Every structure is written in C-alpha cells, then in structure tokens.
Amino acid sequence: MAMSPRSNSGNSLYQPMPEINVTPLVDVMLVLLIVFMITAPMLSAGLKVNLPQAKTAEPLDPKQPVVITLTKEGELTVGDQTVPRQEIAAEVRRMLNGEDRHVHVRGDKEVPYGEIVAVMDHLAANGIVKIALLATGQRTDAETAEHAVPAQ
C-alpha cells in the first residue's frame, strides 16, 4: 500500500492511500505481451532438426480404412462387394481381421440420413466403434444456391 503525508487526518504523518498504482501492472503486462508475441511463432513452426537415418528401418504400412457405401437404391457395399444389411457387421469384422483400423461410412446424397445412422448404430451395437462419415464430393454452385438459407 502506498503512503502519503497527510497532516489533517489524525496523529500519524503518513496514512495509507486507497488508490491502486496500476503503472507497474501495465508495465509487467506489456513486457509479457512482447515476450509471448516473439515466442509464439517459434513454438508453432518448431525447430529444424537434422534427424539421423537408420539403414534397417522400414516405413510403417498405413492402414487403409474399411469403406461402407450406401447407394440411393438402398444397397450396402463393403469395399467392392454388396452385403445384406444383417451381415454388415460380420463382413466389416472379417475385413478388419482384428486390426485397429477405422470404418468410413459414406452415402449417396439422396439416402435419408436415418439410414446412415441406422448402419452406424448397427456397427456400434456389434462392437465396431471407430466410425467416420465421409463427404462424397463438392457441391456445384447451383447446389450451393439451392441449399442456401434465404436472408430475412
């Protein structure tokens, strides 16, 4: 607490002032801001390191996901083959072959979303939980305009 001489209020020459001195606080905050502004780009870019090369090392084999496709006719395909809906979990489990891979589900744009969720739910109920949804393509300008929300 800061002290200032006051002759009118009481016996003591110095009394505490009720004001807070913010100048040191602002100085410290500005220094911290400058430090973070300088160090933040270095943290995101990282350091360039020349890594050693091993002669016996083999590259990791990237695990391809199992892709399930729902067509607008209601057919389910796992990879290249058409599978009945009741056997989809068994076929996916056979294709996974005990490996830790993901399952990608994609559907035609005319397939009701409830059908896609039903397939995902069936897979999850059978213990297949690493499931992702795939977008099948990019919209054209006409499709984007068709699905745009009108301004009010």
What are the pLDDT digits (tens) for 8-54?
555 677 777 778 888 999 999 999 999 999 888 877 766 678 878 88
d(CA 91, CA 66): 10
For the chain, where are the E strands, in sequence order? 3-5, 14-16, 66-70, 76-78, 81-83, 103-107, 131-133
pTM of the model: 0.52
Can you name the CATH fold of 66-133? Nucleotidyltransferase; domain 5 (3.30.420)
| Burial classification of residue 1, based on how many CB atoms lie within 10 Å of its CB (0-12 exposed, 13-18 middle, 19 or more buried) | exposed
Q: What is the pLDDT of residue 68?
A: 92
What are the pLDDT digits (tens) for 83-119?
998 899 999 999 888 888 889 999 888 888 899 999 9
Between the two ends of the chain, the Cα-to-Cα distance in Å is: 57
**pLDDT, mean of residues 119-132:** 91
CB–CB of 35/27 below 8 Å? no
130-133 contacts, C-beta under 8 A, 24 or more apart: 130/100, 130/101, 130/102, 130/103, 131/102, 131/103, 131/104, 131/105, 132/65, 132/102, 132/103, 132/104, 132/105, 133/104, 133/105, 133/106
